[in-house]
């Protein structure tokens, strides 16, 4: 089977072999969770593999952006320098999928770096790859990650040895740049940041529950009730099955956004 992996010129790595990156693809991922890190990786000359169960295109959860995998679980390289999981509205599905978890556990055992952004760390936790590690996640998923026995960080990018994770959605760009800097150096990361013209100046101060205010947080809770419930139920299933070694409190005390909602 042909591997249609994206390869960019090694303009920053010289004669060195490019780092091999395996990025998990699944139905219902959030596009920017994938595209932000992907862009930083390829700009830094890394060789990126978009890996899924099959070569059938997958659809994101945010408007139906379609992305084609470049290889499959069975055909992918046996070892990646960087293993990556994006978050998404349907993240509960890979969390409970035996084939996905088996592939992650296998590749994660040999990867130099095991990484994720948004609620992607919950998939790593389900695969047993965050046992004894600290990780960041989307603010609305912190309590759920803690239920899986992970020490939860509120940092935008969290580095704990070879586990590197990012917060929600847009944090994927910061995560990608931090990981490039960590692996290839500041010059490579600065190059990627310059090409992307990444100088964020958000027009509103609403990127966290504290700054957005109660009304906007309530709006988010209302519209995300279904995926929040599905995620909470998936975590409960894993805990009931004994897949979570313990639980840790979320240090900033942000409440579970699904607390008090009726289950469906």
Dihedral pair phi/psi, residue 58, rounded to 5°: -115, 155
Residue-level length of the chain: 264
Is the distance from CB of 22 to CB of 109 less than 8 angstroms? no
pLDDT at 258: 32
Angle ∠(182,116,231) on CA atoms, nearest 5: 160
Q: What's the N-to-C CA distance of the chain in angstroms?
A: 41
pLDDT band for position 60 (cuts 50, 70, 90): very high
Note the pLDDT tens digit of each residue in 79-97: 999 999 999 999 999 999 9
**What pLDDT score does 63 carry?**
84
Instruction: Outline where DSSP puts E strands in the chain.
Output: 20-24, 47-52, 58-59, 66-67, 71-72, 82-85, 113-117, 134-136, 151-153, 157-160, 163-166
Residue of 31, 82, 90, 118 with catalytic role: 118
- 246 against 60, higher pLDDT: 60
- In the chain, where the domains are located: 20-197+207-240
pLDDT digits (tens, 9 = 90+) for 122-145: 999 999 999 999 999 999 999 999
Q: pLDDT, tens digit, for every residue of 2-56?
A: 444 444 445 555 567 899 999 999 999 999 999 999 999 999 999 999 999 999 9
- Residue 12: the pLDDT is 57
pLDDT over threshold 80, residue 1: no
Could you name the CATH architecture of 20-197+207-240? 3-Layer(aba) Sandwich (3.40)
The dihedral through the CA atoms of 118, 165, 254, 217 has a sign that is: negative
Q: What is the pLDDT of residue 16?
A: 74
pLDDT digits (tens, 9 = 90+) for 211-225: 999 999 999 999 999
pLDDT score recorded for residue 18: 93
158 catalytic? Reply is: no
């Amino acid at each position: 089977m042909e591997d249609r992996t994206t390869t960019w010129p090694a303009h920053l790595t010289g004669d060195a072999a490019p780092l091999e990156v395996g990025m998990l693809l699944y139905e219902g991922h959030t596009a920017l969770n994938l595209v932000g890190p992907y862009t930083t990786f390829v700009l830094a000359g890394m060789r990126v593999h978009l890996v899924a169960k099959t070569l059938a295109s997958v659809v994101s959860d945010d408007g139906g952006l379609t992305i084609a995998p470049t290889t499959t679980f069975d055909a992918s390289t046996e070892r990646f320098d960087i293993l990556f999981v994006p978050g998404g509205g349907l993240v509960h599905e890979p969390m409970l999928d035996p084939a996905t978890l088996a592939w992650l556990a296998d590749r994660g055992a040999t990867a130099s770096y095991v990484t994720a952004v948004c609620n992607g760390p919950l998939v790593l936790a389900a695969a047993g790859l965050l046992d004894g590690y600290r990780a960041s996640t989307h603010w609305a998923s912190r309590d759920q990650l803690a239920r899986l026995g992970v020490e939860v960080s509120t940092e935008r990018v969290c580095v704990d040895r070879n586990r590197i994770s990012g917060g929600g959605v847009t944090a994927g760009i910061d995560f990608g740049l931090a990981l490039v800097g960590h692996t290839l150096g500041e010059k490579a990361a600065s190059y990627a940041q310059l090409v992307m013209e990444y100088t964020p100046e958000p027009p509103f101060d609403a990127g966290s529950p504290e700054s957005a205010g109660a009304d906007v947080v309530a709006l988010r809770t209302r519209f995300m009730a279904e995926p929040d419930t599905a995620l909470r139920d998936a975590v409960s299933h894993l805990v009931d099955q004994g897949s979570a070694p313990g639980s840790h409190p979320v240090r900033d005390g942000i409440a579970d956004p699904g607390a008090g909602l009726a289950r469906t």
